[in-house]
Structures are given as C-alpha cells and as structure tokens.
Amino acid sequence: MEGGTRGIFLDGYEGNSAWDVVDTSWYSKTESEESSIVFVLKIKRKPLYGLLTLVFPIIMLAILNLFTFTLPSNGGEKAGYAVTVFLAFAVFLTIMEASFPQNSESVAYFAIYVVIKTVQSTMITLIALVMIRCAAFDETTTIPRLLLVFVRVVKCEALRKRLNGASTTGAVPRA
C-alpha cells in the first residue's frame, strides 16, 4: 500500500467476500520527537451471507413455531413438532455464539432476538404439552389439583377485570 493525496492505493489488495473497502486515507502525525503515519480504512460489511444463513432461517422458525397450535392434540405430533422447533432455535444460538464476538459490554440485537424467540419457543412447547394433557382428559380422568387451582385463579382474575370494566361503564355483567 502506498499513500497518496486521494487515499491509499490498493493495487496489491485482494477483495474479501465479507467486507468492501469504502474509503481510504492517511496522514502523518508528529508529537514531540516521534513521528507516525496513520492509515484510515473505512470498510462496509456485505450482509447477504448473514441474511441467508441466520436472519431468514430464524424468522422462518419463528413463523413455524406458531403453527404448533394448528396440529391436532390427539397424538404426540404437537409435542414433537414444538420440541423440534425449540431445538432448532438452540442450534442457531450455538451457531451465533461461534460467529459473534463474545463480550458483555455490547450484545448484538439479533442475539437478543434469538434468545427471546428461544424463550418463546420454550413457552409454546410447555403450552402444547398442557394442551395434549388436557385433550387426554375424559370422564374417568381426575384433573390434577394444581391445574384446578391455576384455572380458578385465572377465572377469578378475568371475572374481576370484567366486573371492574362493567362498573366504570355502568353495564351489568352477564353470568
């Protein structure tokens, strides 16, 4: 590389598949008895590879995750499907760990997005398992006490919100 008035001559430069050189410059700097030359390279990342290998698959998995609820609850397909999507998110987390810089001062927004989607996939898996369990109830099945307490708490909260909403509007709630 040689310096010039229009930047750095890149005659010997070989292109990179991940980065483009946008602009170059150089200047000399003299402090007391020491002199130095400062080279400035402005580079830009090429986003296509990251989009095709990380972003689009994660978005597709997020969409597929929602289709867990369209599967019938009478078999184990719903649980298997939900666990498979969850494991795919876990695989993408390990891929991202290897490709992103590891520091705690600044975390990539995309990494936070994938962690949130993994947590969401965990919740969807748990909901799918509860739905399968509830679908298996018949007249002879005893409902677990914890589930009964949970449903009663949720129903009371919904009723309380309904009554509070009705008292502000003046309407009488129907039972």
Task: Single out the residue of 26, 24, 28 nearest to residue 43, CA to CA.
Answer: 24
- Residue 51, pLDDT score: 82
What is the C-alpha end-to-end distance of the chain, expressed in Å? 82
- Residue 119, pLDDT score: 92
How many CB atoms sit inside 10 A of residue 150's CB?
A: 12
Q: Cα-Cα-Cα-Cα dihedral of 118, 52, 67, 93, to 10°?
A: -10
| pLDDT block averages, 10 residues each, the chain of length 175 | 63 80 83 84 83 87 89 82 91 82 79 89 89 77 79 76 65 52
- Residue 6, pLDDT score: 65
Percent of residues, the chain, with pLDDT higher than 70: 89
Average pLDDT, the chain: 80
- Residue 86, pLDDT score: 92
- Residue 160, pLDDT score: 73
* Rounded distance between C-alpha atoms, residue 157 and residue 154, angstroms: 5
* Rounded distance between C-alpha atoms, residue 27 and residue 111, angstroms: 38
- Residue 4, pLDDT score: 53
Tokens for 48?
Answer: 């296509």
Domains of the chain: 2-45 (no CATH), 48-147 (1.20.58)
- Residue 28, pLDDT score: 82
Tokens for 110?
Answer: 């995309």
User: Residue 10 has what DSSP assignment?
Assistant: -
- pTM of model > 0.85: no
